[in-house]
């Protein structure tokens, strides 16, 4: 029997609002019958949509919220205007109060991060939270972080990312010791920025029980699935993510144009349709929708604002799996171990 978990949803978030949020909740509920929902949004807008999904309505409580955060609001504006009364804030606050295990929103990324940090605060020992994304690979999936929450990171922060990413991999993929690599311009130990080299040395010498440090990985290792977790700072991580998304769209467009170029190409497509359907499924970004804010005292997941119901369902299911498998407890355990390592390193430098 599925474990019962409550997930709070920012019903007004994203480009399409309640229609996608409630539709995604319906799909997730079919796959994970144990989910219960706390819905936050404008009742006049949300309830007519909710009435079309009786199973979701039966598994939900709807909370009216006066304010909705727009996709154009600056984080500072969102905090001033939407604190306490917006659906985004109250869905996060539901996690803080223990009413929900996870918050999922497709809303404004900057506003969501600002509110999550303000409401939940960072975990003890974490300087900065990170955004972790699922990355499709030839071997299945990997976790990549940070993909945009921070610009730049020192060695200590990169170690934090490694700890949090490995805990997420343990929760989602049921791995005892996920392999972790640091993204670098080469695999040789003498290459790269000093912060990356220092983090690599600490991880290599620490031999932690919860992760297996692989070493440096390069950009082409992301798609190969060389490691379970790829660690980088947010500037390069975000560029890598957007490059991969753009490349996938480019390849899809190339294939579409090639298949429509001549009559023989169209006929060939009919014969190879099952193979192309398999390729389309592998490249479907909805299956890996959802970036997790790690390092906060609670799990917050940012869904892509333009996704459809299937993509939003994937973000909900990710949150369910992380909560059901105790990702917060795993992160806390690993932070205690590496906290001692960092103290020892600091003393040795002094």
Domains, the chain, in order of start with CATH, read: 1-126+295-325 (3.40.718.10), 127-291 (3.40.718.10)
Q: What does the alpha-carbon distance between residue 112 and residue 90 come to, in Å, rounded to a whole number? A: 11
pLDDT of residue 1: 47
The predicted model scores a pTM of 0.85
pLDDT of residue 51: 94
3-state SS, residue 291: strand
pLDDT of residue 188: 81
pLDDT of residue 347: 46
Burial of 77 (0-12, 13-18, 19+ CB in 10 A): middle
Cβ–Cβ < 8 Å for 217, 147: no
Question: What is the phi/psi pair of residue 211, to 5°?
Answer: -150, 160
Helix runs in 225-308, H state only: 234-259, 263-271, 273-282
Cβ–Cβ < 8 Å for 24, 316: yes
pLDDT of residue 20: 93
pLDDT of residue 93: 94
Q: What does the alpha-carbon distance between residue 342 and residue 199 come to, in Å, rounded to a whole number? A: 11
Burial of 93 (0-12, 13-18, 19+ CB in 10 A): buried
Give the tokens for residue 307.
Answer: 């996704």
- Phi-psi domain of 213 (left: phi exceeds 0; alpha: psi -120 through 50; beta: other): beta
Q: What does the alpha-carbon distance between residue 72 and residue 69 come to, in Å, rounded to a whole number? A: 8
Residue-level pLDDT, tens digit, the chain, 350 residues: 467 899 999 999 888 889 999 999 999 999 999 899 999 999 999 999 999 999 999 999 999 998 888 888 888 888 887 778 899 999 999 999 999 999 999 988 889 999 999 999 998 888 888 999 888 888 888 999 988 887 888 888 999 999 899 989 988 888 889 999 999 988 887 787 889 999 898 888 887 788 899 999 998 898 888 999 999 988 888 888 888 878 777 877 777 787 777 777 777 767 666 766 666 666 666 676 778 999 999 999 999 888 889 999 999 999 999 899 888 888 888 887 776 555 445 445 54
**∠ at Cα 227 (198, 103), nearest 5°?**
90
Cβ–Cβ < 8 Å for 35, 327: no
Cβ–Cβ < 8 Å for 190, 156: no
Task: Specify the residue for token string 């170690």.
Answer: 159
pLDDT of residue 153: 85
- Phi-psi domain of 218 (left: phi exceeds 0; alpha: psi -120 through 50; beta: other): beta
Question: What is the phi/psi pair of residue 147, to 5°?
Answer: -115, 25
Give the tokens for residue 74.
Answer: 């600056």
Cβ–Cβ < 8 Å for 203, 341: no
């Amino acid at each position: 029997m599925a474990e019962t978990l409550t997930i709070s949803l920012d019903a007004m978030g994203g480009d399409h609002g309640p229609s996608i949020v409630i539709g995604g909740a319906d799909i997730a509920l079919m796959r994970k019958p144990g989910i219960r929902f706390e819905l936050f949004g404008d009742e006049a807008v949300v309830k007519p949509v909710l009435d079309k999904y009786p199973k979701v309505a039966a598994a939900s409580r709807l909370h009216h919220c006066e304010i909705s955060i727009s996709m154009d609001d600056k984080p500072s504006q969102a905090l001033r205007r939407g604190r306490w009364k917006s659906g985004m804030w109250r869905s996060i606050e539901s996690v803080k109060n223990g009413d929900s295990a996870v918050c999922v929103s497709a809303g404004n990324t900057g506003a969501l991060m600002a509110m999550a940090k303000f409401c939940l605060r960072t975990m003890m020992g974490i300087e900065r939270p990170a955004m972790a994304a699922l990355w499709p690979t030839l071997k299945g999936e990997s976790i990549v972080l940070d993909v945009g929450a921070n610009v730049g990171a020192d060695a200590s922060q990169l170690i934090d990312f490694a700890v949090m990413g490995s805990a997420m991999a343990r929760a989602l993929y049921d791995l005892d010791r996920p392999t972790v690599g640091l993204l670098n311009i080469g695999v040789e130990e003498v290459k790269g920025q000093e912060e990356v080299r220092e983090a690599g040395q600490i991880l290599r010498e620490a031999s932690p029980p919860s992760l297996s440090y692989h070493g440096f990985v390069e950009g082409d290792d992301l798609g190969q699935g060389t490691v379970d977790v790829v660690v980088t700072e947010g500037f390069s991580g975000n560029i890598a993510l957007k490059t991969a998304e753009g490349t996938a769209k480019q390849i899809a467009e190339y294939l579409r144009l090639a298949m429509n170029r001549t009559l023989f190409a169209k006929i060939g497509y009919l014969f190879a349709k099952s193979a192309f359907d398999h390729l389309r499924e592998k490249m479907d970004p909805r299956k890996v929708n959802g970036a997790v804010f790690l390092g906060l005292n609670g799990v917050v997941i940012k869904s892509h604002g333009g996704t459809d119901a299937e993509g939003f369902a994937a973000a909900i299911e990710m949150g369910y799996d992380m909560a059901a498998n105790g990702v917060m407890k795993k992160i806390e355990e690993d932070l205690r171990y590496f906290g001692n390592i960092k103290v020892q390193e600091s003393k040795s430098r002094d």
